[in-house]
Amino acid sequence: MTTSPFVKLDGVAKRWNGQLGVEGITLDIPEGSFTALLGPSGCGKSTTLRLLAGLELPDEGKILIDSKDVTTSAASDRNLSMVFQSYALFPHLSVAENVVFGLKVRRVPKQERQEKLHRALEITGLLGLEDRKPGELSGGQRQRVALARAIVAGQRLCLMDEPLSNLDAKLRNAVRKDIKKLQRDLGITVVYVTHDQTEAMSMADTVVLMKDGHIQQVGTPEDLYSRPSNTFVAEFVGAPPMALLQSSVLDGFGDDKTIGIRAENIQIAPKGEGRLRCVVNESEFLGAETLIGLDHAGATGLCVLKPGLSMIAEGNEIDINFHDENLHVFDAAGQRQAG
Amino acid sequence: MSAHANLERRRQAIYGWLLLSPAAVLLTLFAFYPSVATLWSSVFSRGTRRKPTEFVGTENYADLFADPTFWIVVKNNILYAGVTIPVSIFIALSMALWANGKIRARGFVRTAYFTPTVLPMIAAANLWLFFYTPGLGVLDQIGSLFGLPSVNWLGQPETALWAIIIVTIWKEAGFFMIFYLAALQTIPEDLKEAADIEGTSRWTYTRRIVLPLLMPTTLFIAVNAMINSVKLIDHLFILTKGGPSDASKLILYYIWEMAFAFFDAPSAAAMTIMVIAVLGIVATIQFFYLDKRTHYQ
Ligand SMILES: Nc1ncnc2c1ncn2[C@@H]1O[C@H](COP(=O)(O)OP(=O)(O)OP(=O)(O)O)[C@@H](O)[C@H]1O
Ligand SMILES: [Mg+2]
């Protein structure tokens, strides 16, 4: 390792009245990267981000930003910006005033303020809306004001807490691309909280998957998808998620293991030639393909994809086949076994 | 326009009037009619057995302007309003900002501040009588600990009005605080956090974000405080009865005296009309001037 990471969390823990918030968060974030904190609701994503921002103070552990120990520093001393889920725009201030609020507080000269404002509005496509109040903007525009406010400060680290969750699906796709482009163009480091895995997988260089306050896996989207480190990751990532089988239903894997297999690696075999016999429980037409849900006594989430529209009636028995190299083997504790 | 739309419009209009009518009837009966009747009686002379009531135009008003007591009362009331309005608003705001913060025993603090409001004014006045009474009163008791002479707070012209002012502020501040507290609750927590990240000081945050967002509440409270500065005189009956030598007499008390002690109804009516006019003008100015600078969510 040549350079120390830009942001470093080391064994950070935060508890509320002794109850679990987050525990043992250790994470290195390189400069200029896009890191997504992903996980189900209540797993501690926001808490981690707020610890990083200085809005909460950790009970244990250390936080370093740019090689400086900021564990107990105030939020304003950490040189970062943040986009809130609710945008946190000041309702009585115009778009322009909202964006330059921080610059004004820091007594940036008026001339410079105007230039930065113009550039930020240009980047976010808000020119012409300077004098509107947040209440007079659409959700997407508000979101971009929040974004403009975050980038106008010119901080190298930007934290975002589910910034897209208030937008509709179409807008979300567009803004997702904007944010990603912005991050690349400005070369800033983004830590991005989301519970939407498509968002995390499509935007992030590194995905941090969390559950119940603990990190489950840190890796590239590819890593999480094709080498899940435990059964939770396996079942969380991907649509449809990985199916899990008890090893006892297959030969040669022992009795106490869990076997994971993705839908795209399963083929339907002619009757009597498959490795497992299952019962169809649903057929869901997805457009390009049809998802056939399967029931088997020793498996959960088993399904298979068929190209085009090809429904199979519920209750039919079919045989399925798969290759051993596509299987993920997890030990009794649910951890991935080497390979 | 089609007959159907016309019918619908008429239906809507009738519906609207039906909804308005209870308030309209009550207001007419108990506000508009009395106002007009007052205006009417203010331009007639006071009838005696020998001289029946007759139209005198503005004579009642002219008499009032010539009455030195009237001017004392006006001056008193202006001072009373000029002190109680800003001070009670300021105290209410400070208490609300404090009680809204992360302090211990927050519930207790709020309740304690609110207590004066629940107390009827007469009861509050009796309570303060117990503070102010020379010799026996709490203030004097405390003063005597430090060897200070006994002061008759309510009995001397220099202090009487101020003693009244303090009671009013004490009574009003807690009430206004509740409005501010409610308004503060509606300001989302993350505005503070967003400001924190930008490095905003507590004072700047209060001045640039909180106070502007509280403007609608401040406007509402200011109008109420102004009305109260004319309306709230119950404690005068208990504490000073306007004395000594009119030093603590306020307009409404004087009106009451005119009407029910001196039985000079026309003068009382004339004064009432003037109070209504002044209040109306000031409230209008407050609304139109402050409204422009107020952000409503
Ligand atoms: N201020 C607080 N007081 C007490 N408990 C809290 C507080 N904030 C968060 N928690 C608890 O900490 C845990 C993690 O919360 P957090 O807000 O980080 O979840 P999250 O992953 O952001 O979830 P979501 O996706 O719903 O936003 C939750 O169990 C939550 O109940
Ligand atoms: Mg959250």
Domain count, chain A: 2
Interface confidence (ipTM) of the complex: 0.81
Does A179 lie in the same domain as A74?
A: yes
Strand partners, A336: A330
CB contact under 8 A, A88 and B199: no
CATH code of residue A95: 3.40.50.300
Quote the tokens at residue B154: 């309510």
Q: Is A194 in the pocket of ligand 1 (CB under 6 A)?
A: no
- Asked, for residue A41, whether it belongs to a domain, the answer is yes
Does A307 lie in the same domain as A247?
A: yes
CB contact under 8 A, B200 and A91: no
**Could you tell me the strand order of the sheet in which A7-16 lies?**
A19-29, A7-16, A60-65, A68-69
Q: Give the separation between CA B238 and CA B248, rounded to whole angstroms.
A: 12
Does A32 lie in the same domain as A131?
A: yes
CB A278 within 8 A of CB A296: yes
CB contact under 8 A, A74 and B198: no
Quote the tokens at residue B100: 């809204």
Structural domain of residue A212, as residue ranges?
Answer: 7-233
CA A39 to ligand 1: nearest atom: 21
Q: Give the separation between CA B32 and CA B92, rounded to whole angstroms.
A: 33
Ligand closest to CA A195: 1
- Asked, for residue A163, whether it belongs to a domain, the answer is yes
CB contact under 8 A, B190 and A86: yes
pLDDT value of position B296: 66
Nearest to A105 among B200, B215, B295 (CB): B200
Give, in degrees to the nearest 5, the angle at Cα A113 between A108 and A115. Answer: 140
Using the Cα atoms of residue A250, residue A253, residue A254 and residue A259 in order, give the sign of their dihedral: negative
Does A248 lie in the same domain as A221?
A: no
Is A278 in a helix, a strand, or coil?
A: strand
How far does chain A reach from its first CA to its final CA, in angstroms? 25
**Any idea what DSSP says for residue A335?**
B
Q: Tell me if chain B has a CB within 8 Å of the CB of A135.
A: yes
Question: What are the helix (H) ranges across chain A?
Answer: 45-53, 95-105, 110-124, 139-152, 169-186, 197-203, 221-226, 231-236
Q: Which residue in A has a C-alpha nearest to residue B189's C-alpha?
A: A88
Cβ atoms within 10 Å, residue B79: 14
Q: Give the separation between CA B142 and CA A215, rounded to whole angstroms.
A: 64
pLDDT value of position B144: 80
Q: Give the separation between CA A43 and CA A215, rounded to whole angstroms.
A: 9
Domain boundary among A233, A262, A282: A233
Nearest to B213 among A54, A92, A106 (CB): A92
Q: Give the separation between CA A210 and CA A44, rounded to whole angstroms.
A: 7
| Cβ neighbours of A91 in B, within 8 Å | 213, 295, 297
Does A132 lie in the same domain as A253?
A: no
**Amino acid in the structure at residue A177:** K
Q: Is A54 in the pocket of ligand 1 (CB under 6 A)?
A: no
Main-chain phi, psi angles of B205, to 5 degrees = -60, -45
CB contact under 8 A, B191 and A106: no
| Cβ neighbours of A84 in B, within 8 Å | 190, 193-194
Ligand closest to CA A50: 1
Is A132 in a helix, a strand, or coil?
A: coil
Q: Which residue in B has a C-alpha nearest to residue A105's C-alpha?
A: B200
Which residue's C-alpha comes closest to atom 5 of ligand 1? Answer: A16
Does A206 lie in the same domain as A295?
A: no
Q: Tell me if chain B has a CB within 8 Å of the CB of A16.
A: no
Average pLDDT over residues A253-264: 89
Domain boundary among A189, A205, A233: A233
- Asked, for residue A337, whether it belongs to a domain, the answer is no
Main-chain phi, psi angles of B279, to 5 degrees = -60, -45
Strand partners, A268: A320
Q: Which residue in A has a C-alpha nearest to residue B294's C-alpha?
A: A92
Does A175 lie in the same domain as A301?
A: no
CB B172 within 8 A of CB B180: no
Whole-number Cα distances in Å, A337 to A56, A210, A227, A243, B281: 37, 20, 10, 17, 83
- Asked, for residue A187, whether it belongs to a domain, the answer is yes
Residue of A12, A16, A38, A216 to mutate, ligand 1, most atoms within 8 A of C-beta: A16
Contacts of B118 (CB under 8 A, 6+ apart): none
Q: Give the separation between CA B296 and CA A252, rounded to whole angstroms.
A: 71
Say yes or no to pLDDT of A2 above 60: no
Does A66 lie in the same domain as A94?
A: yes
Contacts of A150 (CB under 8 A, 6+ apart): A81, A82, A83, A158, A160
pLDDT value of position A1: 46
Does A43 lie in the same domain as A16?
A: yes
Per-residue pLDDT of chain B (297 residues), as tens digits, is 578 888 889 999 999 999 999 999 999 999 889 888 888 888 888 777 777 777 887 888 888 888 888 899 999 999 999 999 999 999 999 988 888 877 677 778 778 878 888 888 888 888 888 888 877 777 878 888 887 777 787 888 888 889 889 989 998 888 898 899 889 988 988 899 999 998 888 899 999 999 999 988 998 898 889 888 888 888 888 888 877 888 888 889 999 988 888 888 888 888 898 888 988 888 888 778 777 766 665
CA A48 to ligand 1: nearest atom: 18
Chain A nearest CA to B160, separation (Å): 43
Nearest to A91 among B195, B201, B297 (CB): B297
**Amino acid in the structure at residue A62:** K
Does A223 lie in the same domain as A99?
A: yes
| Cβ neighbours of B194 in A, within 8 Å | 82, 84, 88, 90, 149
- Asked, for residue A209, whether it belongs to a domain, the answer is yes
Give, in degrees to the nearest 5, the angle at Cα A28 between A23 and A29. Answer: 120
Is B137 in a helix, a strand, or coil?
A: coil
CATH code of residue A259: 2.40.50.140
CB A64 within 8 A of CB A8: yes
Q: How far is CA B129 from the centre of its chain?
A: 21
Contacts of A208 (CB under 8 A, 6+ apart): A27, A35, A36, A37, A38, A215, A217, A218
Does A130 lie in the same domain as A146?
A: yes
- Asked, for residue A290, whether it belongs to a domain, the answer is yes
Contacts of A18 (CB under 8 A, 6+ apart): none
Q: Which residue in B has a C-alpha nearest to residue A134's C-alpha?
A: B297
Q: Give the separation between CA A9 and CA A23, rounded to whole angstroms.
A: 11
CB B255 within 8 A of CB B221: no
- Asked, for residue A335, whether it belongs to a domain, the answer is no
Domain boundary among A170, A201, A233: A233
| Cβ neighbours of B198 in A, within 8 Å | 76, 101-102, 105-106, 153
Q: What is the pLDDT of residues B276-295, one digit of tens each?
A: 898 888 888 877 877 776 66
- Asked, for residue A339, whether it belongs to a domain, the answer is no
Which residue's entry shows tokens 């244990």?
A60
Say yes or no to pLDDT of A308 above 70: yes
Q: Is A16 in the pocket of ligand 1 (CB under 6 A)?
A: yes
Does A100 lie in the same domain as A176?
A: yes
